[in-house]
A and B are shown apart, each in its own frame.
Chain A
Amino acid sequence: MPPLKIPPARPQATVMLSRVAHSLYWMSRYIERAENIARLLEVNLQFLLDFQGIDDAGVKEHWGSILASSGDDELFSTLYETADSRTVTEFLALDLRNPSSILSCVFTARENARMIRDQISVEMWETINELYLFLKAHNTAEIWAAGPYEFFRDIKRNSHLFQGLTDSTYPRNEGWEFIQFGKLLERADKTTRILDVKYHILLPNATDVGGAIDTAQWQAVLRSASALEAYRRFYVREILAWKVAEFLVFSDSFPRSLHYCAVQIDDFLRRILDETGARPRSEAARASRRLLADLQSLTINDVLDQGLHEFLLEAQKSLDRIGDEVVQTTMFYPAETDTEQQQQ
């Protein structure tokens, strides 16, 4: 018998099409986005239920602040007359006219996954496809009737399941870098927006600061970022505005803090763009390094002096720039910009 000939690994095993890389990136971003919106909505619906005393104007202002922080207030006002629990939930969760609604996110994530079905594991595909089939089989009225909490729980669970399966079934190759990069960019962006919600909520007067409603609102911010337990273990004592901000911006151990995400974003970005030198070569890497430098050198007092809202807006802009640059660079054929926009 001749010796067993083991064929060498095929070269294409290491090659990744640009289109595939970007589908992985968007798939991952949209799943993370859906989960964050679900959390934000769930917590705030609960918050308003807990404070039955808030009048209609207060409710309107509360939802207005959430729309403003997510950047969707303009689109909302063209589609709905007033902002209340029902309309905002419908808009952010179920309205396909809103490209960032939970439903739109899941559909887009699934469409991207379908384009690269051959690249992801059966488990990943089935999770995203089952979620899609489930949502497709139910209309808005049915989801409301069953209670939106069930719906939010399904979205969050499926996102966790998907991310867990990605972790345990997806090879650690370039595709992995794009998946993580997309997820972390989205997560960092959403954390800044969740924190910014509080900026838009005006308290009736100064004495309310530190009062029951104020504290409950900061608690809601923490819960929206799945951060309440982690915060309590870190600071133990009461919930204070500046501490919440410090935790969500600067924590170097909490996985949803802006700083924690930025460290990893920088790491994956270096790998994707092959940035090995001390000085960055690309605009994306420069933006990332600047953001990281701020997050590692500033204190919460510096940030509050500058204005938390302004600081968060700048961070969002940096994250946008980093994402856009990486998409452009790895795409490297301008003819595809049109398609890219369609995917968003």
Chain B
Amino acid sequence: MSIISKSYDPSTFYDEMFRPGGEIRPHYRRLAERLSTLPETEFDQRRAAVDLAFLRRGVTFTVYNNAEGTERIFPFDLIPRIIPAAEWRRIEAGLIQRITALNLFLHDLYHGQKILKDKVVPAAQILSAKHFRREFMNFSVPRDIYVHICGTDLIRDHDGNYLVLEDNLRCPSGASYMIENRAAMRRAFPNLFQSYSVRAIEGYADTLLKSLLHLAPHGADKANVVLLTPGVYNSAYFEHTFLARQMGIPIVEGRDLVVRDARVFMRTTAGLVPVDVIYRRIDDDFLDPTVFRADSQLGVPGLVAAYRAGNVALANSIGTGVADDKVIYAYVPKIIRYYLDQDPILPNVNTYLASETEDRKFILANIAKLVVKSANEAGGYGMLIGPAATRAEVDDFRAKVAANPRNFIAQDPIMLSRSPTWCDRSLEGRHIDLRPYILCGEKTIVTPGGLTRVALRKGSLVVNSSQGGGSKDTWVLNNDD
């Protein structure tokens, strides 16, 4: 029996593959045809082969809070998510618009602060933001680009509209899984790629390297670019080695770098070699123990001094976190209008700020119907999904919000769109999101597709890998079906 002929219930959510009546959407038809000729046993074999390949190749992430401290593969679902060309054009335009405005916003925040003087964003919100780095006021970053690598999380609502859920402007991860997923799909279903015209994503590492070289303080020709990792025990270590290998640059730990006369060097067998650009996968707080957290073992003493002297470039820049604070997120549509005089192409999820009196009253009165998030947490931690929470959890969050309003926002719950996903011997709808990757160098380039994450637990809306999420290959088509 083939996997597609089993009964599938699209339910009342927006389903990526099926229309409400059960009809298959045009851009999924050829996939459905292929799957309908594939016996379940063969599908299972291919799935097992893909899992084994991931394990052998070490395409893994490390799980914290686990006695074994084990490396696990990121669960991968073989049913791809498909995006037609016209749909993607809108997403791409919306993402470029958003990152352009956010880069202008960051520049303004760290220079004249016009947007605060014009009271478009309340100054108090910025001054109280955890990731606002006042030490960098009036400091000019190379080429005026603050965010070089951005991973924006998009979701689709009940009607299939794309909404921005959050901007990740610090060290967004996952691009390596996007590339490995595509490689896995090409091995599992080589013929499918002949019947579909899928846009390539393999240029990601090249574009990333170009964006990094663009920042080199002494010209790109002889620039040394390195990737700075927290080390082999970091959960994203696979990704760090993957990207370094793809770009052909050294992967370094803090202890491999040393600063002399405000110049960064790496320790090599032939002595000290200067470093010009650092793609850092370490948060601001850990970069330099002489400036930020003194207990950091991961950073490089003197790195910030070298950065200030203009002798080394960092991607992303220091202090970008202020713009992906969940409170500031609520102001992004206004930020876009302010700097670009355009309407946002991709809307936000409707958001209430606990720090604003009216909003706070509304949140406290309706908390059981809302999704509440703390302003600076990531990875699906520190949030409450009101409709799915117990009474005790709701009460707990109500007290937290009342005690520290600046740290919380609330949003209308969005019933994320669903995609058919292979779950334990049948095809079932599971909620998904999409993280496209935007690179800002000489040009701003959005890699066509991104990482589609899927909440594998039945009914779950949390797609994070740390919370039982998996992923799918994401196909952006060259045409509309």
| B-binding segment of A11-19, A100-108, A222-230 | A11-19
CA distance A272 to B221 in the complex (A): 28
| A-binding segment of B16-24, B78-86, B240-248 | B240-248
CA distance A126 to B269 in the complex (A): 27
Give the distance to chain B from A179, nearest Cβ to Cβ, in Å.
13
Are B57 and A17 interface neighbours, CB within 8 A? no
> A133 to chain B: which residues have CB within 8 Å?
55-56
> A268 to chain B: which residues have CB within 8 Å?
none
CA distance A16 to B269 in the complex (A): 6
Q: Does A167 interact with chain B (Cβ within 8 Å)?
A: no
Q: Does A27 interact with chain B (Cβ within 8 Å)?
A: no
| B-binding segment of A113-121, A275-283, A288-296 | A113-121
The listed residue (B56, B232, B251, B266) touching A15 by CB distance below 8 A is B266
> B221 to chain A: which residues have CB within 8 Å?
8
Are A10 and B269 interface neighbours, CB within 8 A? no
> B250 to chain A: which residues have CB within 8 Å?
12, 15, 17, 20, 118
> A10 to chain B: which residues have CB within 8 Å?
224, 248
Q: Does A51 interact with chain B (Cβ within 8 Å)?
A: no
Interface residues of B in 261-285 (CB under 8 A from A): 266-271, 273
Could you mark each residue 1-45 of chain A with 1 if its beta carbon is under 8 Å from any beta carbon of chain B, else 0? 000000010111101111111000000000000000000000000
Are B241 and A19 interface neighbours, CB within 8 A? no
| A-binding segment of B252-260, B348-356, B402-410 | B252-260
> Please, which residue of chain B has its CB at the minimum distance from the CB of A339?
B255
> Please, which residue of chain B has its CB at the minimum distance from the CB of A274?
B270
> A125 to chain B: which residues have CB within 8 Å?
57-58
Q: Does B391 interact with chain A (Cβ within 8 Å)?
A: no
Q: Does A208 interact with chain B (Cβ within 8 Å)?
A: no
> Please, which residue of chain B has its CB at the minimum distance from the CB of A125?
B58
> B267 to chain A: which residues have CB within 8 Å?
17-19, 332-333
> B458 to chain A: which residues have CB within 8 Å?
none
Are B58 and A117 interface neighbours, CB within 8 A? yes
> Please, which residue of chain A has its CB at the minimum distance from the CB of B231?
A115
Give the distance to chain A from B251, nearest Cβ to Cβ, in Å.
5
Are A19 and B245 interface neighbours, CB within 8 A? no
CA distance A129 to B270 in the complex (A): 30
Are A130 and B251 interface neighbours, CB within 8 A? no
Give the distance to chain A from B147, nearest Cβ to Cβ, in Å.
25
Q: Does B163 interact with chain A (Cβ within 8 Å)?
A: no
* Known contacts A15-B270, A17-B266, A330-B269; is-contact A336 B55 (Cβ 8 Å): no
Q: Does B48 interact with chain A (Cβ within 8 Å)?
A: no
Interface residues on A, range: 20 to 34
> Please, which residue of chain B has its CB at the minimum distance from the CB of A112?
B232
Are A18 and B58 interface neighbours, CB within 8 A? no
Are A16 and B256 interface neighbours, CB within 8 A? no
Are A12 and B225 interface neighbours, CB within 8 A? yes
Q: Does A122 interact with chain B (Cβ within 8 Å)?
A: yes
Q: Does B249 interact with chain A (Cβ within 8 Å)?
A: yes
Are B251 and A12 interface neighbours, CB within 8 A? no
Are A15 and B268 interface neighbours, CB within 8 A? yes
Q: Does A174 interact with chain B (Cβ within 8 Å)?
A: yes
> B238 to chain A: which residues have CB within 8 Å?
117
Give the distance to chain B from A96, nearest Cβ to Cβ, in Å.
14
CA distance A19 to B245 in the complex (A): 16
> A13 to chain B: which residues have CB within 8 Å?
248
* Known contacts A15-B268, A111-B232; is-contact A336 B252 (Cβ 8 Å): no
Are A129 and B268 interface neighbours, CB within 8 A? no
> B58 to chain A: which residues have CB within 8 Å?
114, 117, 125, 129
> Please, which residue of chain B has its CB at the minimum distance from the CB of A23?
B232
* Known contacts A10-B248, A15-B268, A15-B270; is-contact A114 B253 (Cβ 8 Å): no
CA distance A12 to B273 in the complex (A): 9
> B270 to chain A: which residues have CB within 8 Å?
15-16, 174
Are A18 and B244 interface neighbours, CB within 8 A? no
Are B56 and A18 interface neighbours, CB within 8 A? no
Give the distance to chain A from B301, nearest Cβ to Cβ, in Å.
12
Q: Does B222 interact with chain A (Cβ within 8 Å)?
A: yes
CA distance A271 to B224 in the complex (A): 25
> B222 to chain A: which residues have CB within 8 Å?
11
Are B255 and A19 interface neighbours, CB within 8 A? yes
Are A117 and B268 interface neighbours, CB within 8 A? no
* Known contacts A17-B252, A20-B250; is-contact A174 B241 (Cβ 8 Å): no
CA distance A12 to B249 in the complex (A): 7
CA distance A151 to B307 in the complex (A): 53
> A130 to chain B: which residues have CB within 8 Å?
56
Interface residues of B in 79-100 (CB under 8 A from A): none
Could you mark each residue 215-243 of chain B with 1 if its beta carbon is under 8 Å from any beta carbon of chain A, else 0? 00000011011100000100001100110
> B241 to chain A: which residues have CB within 8 Å?
117-118
> Please, which residue of chain A has its CB at the minimum distance from the CB of B238?
A117
Are B269 and A272 interface neighbours, CB within 8 A? yes
Are B248 and A17 interface neighbours, CB within 8 A? no
> A114 to chain B: which residues have CB within 8 Å?
58, 232, 237
Please give 19 more A-B residue pairs, beta carbons under 8 A apart, in addition to A12-B249, A17-B268: A11-B224, A15-B224, A15-B250, A15-B268, A16-B269, A17-B266, A18-B256, A19-B256, A20-B250, A111-B232, A117-B238, A117-B245, A118-B251, A126-B57, A130-B56, A133-B56, A174-B269, A272-B269, A336-B255
User: Can you give 15 A-B contacts (C-beta < 8 A)?
Assistant: A12-B225, A12-B250, A17-B252, A17-B268, A17-B269, A18-B267, A20-B250, A21-B269, A117-B245, A118-B244, A122-B57, A130-B56, A133-B55, A335-B255, A336-B255
Q: Which residues of B contact A (CB under 8 A)?
A: 55-58, 221-222, 224-226, 232, 237-238, 241-242, 244-245, 248-253, 255-256, 258, 266-271, 273
